[in-house]
Chains A and B, each alone.
Chain A
Amino acid sequence: MQIGKVIGTLVATQKSRKFDGAKLLLVQPLNADETPRGTALLAVDSVGAGVHDRVLVVLEGRSAGEALGKKWAPVDAAIVGIIDRIDFE
């Protein structure tokens, strides 16, 4: 999984029917020191995350589909957790 920060919301009326009822959030992947890494991506939210939350993101189709709870859903990214904190040793 990857760590990211929710930076925005997206609205799409015309979309694959498997997205009906799903919330789409823009997520900026983060490095361990919380600096941005790479391009922001779009993930379905299965845990009720919101803008500014630090989140756990799966970037794999099968797992993202499981998180969405639908078969044959054309997704490749899903938010599966809201991070409370990360403790470094």
Chain B
Amino acid sequence: MQLARVIGDVVVTRKDEQLDGIKLLLLQPLTPEREAAGRPLVAVDAVGAGVGEEVFFVRGKEASFPFHPAMPPVDAGIVGIVDHWDIEK
């Protein structure tokens, strides 16, 4: 999984019907120092996240697992909202 900040909502009207009712959010992956790490991406939301929150997300088919037995065609999904993290290097 990777850390990210939610930086936007994505609205898609015409889409695969298995995506109906699933929220799509724009994520900026983060380093533990809260710097941007790579390019933004779109992820489905399985935990009720919103813009401005720090989250963690999973990549790959596993992003669809929170919607089991539905199998929406997705490759990234938010699976947790972060309360806090602590780093000791």
Contacts and interface: CB of A to CB of B under 8 A. Distances in A.
Chains A and B form a bound pair: yes
Contacts of A8: 32, 85-88
Contacts of B63: 74
B68 interface: yes
Q: What's the dominant secondary structure at chain B's contact region?
A: mixed
Q: How large is the interface on A (under 10, 10 to 19, 20 to 34, 35 or more residues)?
A: 20 to 34
Contact of A73 (B65, B77, B84, B89): B65
A74 B87 contact: no
B22 interface: no
Given A40-B32, A61-B61, A51 B80 contact: no
Contacts of B87: 7-8, 26
B89 A74 contact: no
17 contacts: A7-B89, A8-B32, A8-B86, A11-B82, A12-B81, A12-B82, A24-B80, A26-B3, A40-B31, A40-B32, A41-B1, A72-B68, A74-B46, A74-B58, A74-B62, A74-B66, A76-B59
Interface of A: 7-16, 18-19, 24, 26, 39-43, 51-52, 61, 64-65, 72-77
